Amino acid sequence: MKIVRVETFLVPPRWLFCRIETDEGLVGWGEPVVEGRAEVVRAAVEVLAEQLVGQDPLRIQDHWQVLTKGGFYRGGPVLSSAVAGLDHALWDIAGKAYGAPVHSLLGGPVRDRVRVYAWVGGDEPAQIGEQVAAQIEAGFTAVKMNGSGRTDPVPSAAGTAEVVRRVAAAREALGPERDVAVDFHGRFTPAGARRVLHEIAPLHPLFVEEPVLPDQSHLLAPLAAATSVPLATGERLYGRGEFLPVLQAGIAVAQPDLSHAGGITEVTRIAALAETFGAQLAPHCPLGPISLAASLQVAFCTPNFLIQEQSLGIHYNKEADLLSYLVDTEPFRFVDGHAVRTTLPGLGITVDEAAVRAADRAGHAWRNPVWRHADGSFAEW
């Protein structure tokens, strides 16, 4: 079997898909994307595809080596995301070739269902209690929310109280049996994060995500030592080499993104590395159906898995949503807040190719907002 074609599709709301076709008619799908830089990743996929056309798609490990290291310069969001999507598609083909779901090729299932959480509150969190109640009604047992919108790096007393009020509103709606995770999005300075962590700790968040920016990861160790709140990070880290220092710093939850951190091949390695630190895996996935399918395949076969993000109804999904490009939406029909294990081959989803091709004709140019502080200076989004 040989790879004959690699195509990319820029589809709303903000995604990029890739499709690898073989001479035997088997097709694999991947989701190589950096949100807001999809066109750049598309160009990277097109260049990397030169290494794949004419090759046996089943030599995934070897392709991963060549794609990540064969160009001398390596890593970073664009290249690692391009490799990630191609890696999804190669695993999808392998599963279809062997007639098995990817998690079976990776050693078989360790669980039959995967707990997923739902987003509430959007970029500027408001009406948290009502939104949490709606997600509980939909069956979810955990939600995630931003701690704040645009904020002062060291929040005022009022700003800190507002974060506490939001998390408390979520906790009140959830009760003690369900969970709330809080994403700081790197919007506070380390000092601001330390103060807010202390204030919300009594509300027992499942974890606090990106308490500081990735460039300040060297400050995670004192932060982890100063709080009882489990710290999470990883959506802006691109390989196991970047996860090692944050695990050494004491994070409790590793959050590689299947579309950013080198795909299924590298995320399974990151999970194994995290296990040696007693840390759990909670893959980042505010993205599309292929990225989620890849995440779930990893979750089904990873012992130290915690919970999975998914984007159904997320504030980014305006022109299209998680289910828009699937022939059969059953794999993402969550039961009691869980994804049920699939036995379908490959990634376990059937992409609606006609819908993808039509959506690509319209494309998208999604960008995140650029925020400013009241004095006009740049603010972290």
Nearer to Mg ion (CB atom), residue 57 or residue 121: 121
Quote the least distance from Cβ 186 to Mg ion, whole Å.
9
Does residue 257 belong to the site contacting Mg ion (CB under 5 A)? no
Residue number with CB closer to Mg ion (224 or 237): 237
Question: Please, are residues 11 and 33 in contact by the beta-carbon 8 Å criterion?
Answer: no
Catalytic residue among 88, 284, 338, 364: 284
Residue 376 contacts by C-beta under 8 Å, 6 or more apart in sequence? Answer: none
Binding to Mg ion (CB under 5 A) within 25-54 occurs at: none
Task: State in angstroms the smallest separation of the CB of 263 from Mg ion.
Answer: 19
Cα–Cα separations (whole angstroms), residue 44 to 61, 142, 179, 303: 19, 36, 38, 33
Binding mask 204-223 for Mg ion (x = CB under 5 A): -----x--------------
316 vs 364: CA distance, rounded Å? 13
Least distance from C-beta 209 to Mg ion, angstroms? 5
Shortest-Cβ-distance residue relative to Mg ion: 183
| Residue 63: alpha-carbon gap to chain centroid | 23
Give 101 or 234: the residue with its C-beta nearer to Mg ion: 234
Nearest distance from C-beta of residue 146 to Mg ion, angstroms: 8
Please compute Rg for the chain using Cα positions: 20
Quick note: the x/- pattern for Mg ion over 265-284, rule CB under 5 A, is: --------------------
Which lies closer to Mg ion via its Cβ, residue 312 or residue 355? 312
Q: Nearest 5°: phi and psi at 39?
A: -65, -35
Active site residue 218: no
Any contact of residue 183 with Mg ion (CB under 5 A)? yes
If one asks whether residue 309 binds Mg ion (CB under 5 A), the answer comes out as no
CA distance 95 to 195: 48
* Residue 339 dihedral angles phi and psi, to the nearest 5°: -85, 135
Closer residue to Mg ion (CB): 333 or 367: 367
The token pair at 157 is 């007393």
d(CA 80, CA 239): 8
- The answer to whether the Cα torsion of 22, 269, 309, 316 is positive or negative is negative
The residue (of 98 and 381) whose beta carbon lies closer to Mg ion is 381
Count each helix (H run) and each strand (E run) in the chain, helices first: 12, 14
The answer to whether 284 is a known catalytic residue is yes
Q: Shortest gap between Cβ of 362 and Mg ion (angstroms)?
A: 28
Catalytic entry in 63, 88, 185, 338: 185
DSSP string, 21-50: EETTS-EEEE----TT-HHHHHHHHHHHGG
The interface with Mg ion within residues 126-155 (CB under 5 A) comprises none
Binding window for Mg ion (CB under 5 A); candidates: 93-101, 151-159, 178-186, 288-296: 178-186
Chain residues that interact with Mg ion, rule: CB under 5 A: 183, 209
- Please list the active-site residues: 185, 284
